[in-house]
Chains A and B, each alone.
Chain A
Amino acid sequence: MKKVLTGNHAVSYGAMIARAEVVAAYPITPQTQIVEKLSEMCADGDLDARFIKVESEHSAMAACIGASASGARAFTATSSQGLALMDEMLHWASHARLPIVMANINRSLGPPWTIWTDQNDTISRRDTGWIQFYCESNQEVIDTMIMAFKIAEQVKLPAFLTLDSFYISHTSEAEELPNQKLVDEYLSKYQAETDLDPTKGSPAYGSLTTDQWYFELQIKMQRAMEQAYDIILKENDLFEKMFGRSYLPVEGYRTDDADYVVFVSGTIASTIKDAIDRARENGIKVGSAKVRLFRPFPKAMIREMAKGRKRLGVIDRNISYGSEGAFFTEIKGALYSQSEHPEIHGFIAGLGGRDVTVDSAYEMIRLVVETSPEKDINWQGAKL
């Protein structure tokens, strides 16, 4: 069944059909609608979950950690400053190997105070040990909600998905709502490995570990991330068979015969398709590649996508201050070990919600096709 819903309500609906058992969240613009809807769903009995009211995002994640450790499927949603406040608990969740799922609305960090989109809130959570998915449409949001639980629970790592503030969160479009029976078949009940019931003499969680084991536990986390990459591919295959939609970690658009490829994430990955079509009409062999997965970083697919191209471009809606765009760094890193090194442009666009139109995407494509890169940051659409 297709229904017109906002991106925020797609998140709430996703949590409902994934049968989240504990929801602990604190409202923040532009995420508030997610929490409102989930509390309604719990109150109406549409979602059989415990809704825990908390006084901060730090507590929201702490509640999710407790719930997940005791065997419940836990979910939360936040944005920007809220995600930043959660930081300590984000590390706790991944080190404790708890498959919590979170939706984050990509909203710029203040000050100056802002509610509009860019990816710095999640890019700066790079090393928290969370799997990170960047979505381009409402449909992708709802589908990723279901897949994220299944992937996270297999590798015992937490996962979050992101959606652009307003361009997805408050945008209504028609979405296919996955059938509950099929979802139940795809995603069975979460079975925790541990049981924190004190009456059963349960083990402690997170007690002191000296250098005798800490190093090896870190290696295990890295291996789980590497394993997550294979599981993401496997689960996508199954999802496609059951639901008819596919989301690869790197997804090419008109790249088969392309001499030039532009890598991009979030909603710009959607907008740029109209610009690619325009360039193709003008006889330019160019394609775009959406990078949906930031952790684990899909190096193999990036290398495959870059192979044999004349020149590449990367559009970042984020900035690592003192360096460059985060996806730009990652993509160059993935290509370093390869024998070919096509020239590569790094663009930064759309910070703080600055609009990235089809025209501005076309201009970036034109620069990739016609020019050699001269600097690591090419600011697009900025008043310089």
Chain B
Amino acid sequence: MPITESEIIKLKEQAKSIRHDIIDTTVWSGGAHIGGALSMVEIMTILYFKYLNIKPEEPHWEERDRVVLSKGHGGVGYAPVLSARGYFPKDELKEFNHFMSNFGMHLDSLKVKGVDVSTGSLGHGLPMAVGLALGARLQNKSWKTYCILGDGECNEGSVWEAAMSAAHFKVTNLITFVDRNKMMIDGRTEEVMALEPFADKWKAFGFIVKEIDGHDFKALSEAIDYAHSETKAPVLILCNTKKGRGVDFMEDQVKWHYGSIDSDLAAKAHESVNRG
């Protein structure tokens, strides 16, 4: 179903609300991976508020679609989405990173409702997503697996082992995104360890690549619809994004990969989101 203008307006509002929640959670947590959390907001929002077949009131429902946030440090961006979608009250996020909390910066599937797979160590998500998708196919299940990779993460060899196997096994019930925010902890991806020609690499590994603006709901929707219709090869949605997106003083700044914000800075961040 092509996305409608009214859907886009609603998703934009939802994304804005998620960004506010990410800022709040970053304050409560004392420090979080806010840059990469903000860059993937549209990807996570369109999945959880348009596409995923899930039942938040029944987190282990067998027929649910699965999500693997391979860039597990995006936990501070993921937990607010799950909360907004109804998996748990927003108040629980106030414990993020705290002693004995269910929420660490990398979310634990045994502790956080709605998290299908524990991630955090980079390069682990796509192999597990391939396994999930193969498992669904083998059991004649119609649910799909969505995997969200970071771009810096794609330095890991295991990503490419998994990519090779996804193409080899023709895993087309898997939809893979890369949050291409072009930054990693130590700097710009092209300076630390160049990924380009990035799309060509995925193509060479047997993926069909859709390169889009990862903050554009219409483009995301078209790419996901395409991936759902594709039956010959796995699809990679290469999402060009901006690290820190939505908070002007964080945008495209390496230093905001991980950071702490006090209430003054948080107020500025909220204002920036409201302006955007």
Instruction: State whether these chains interact.
Output: no
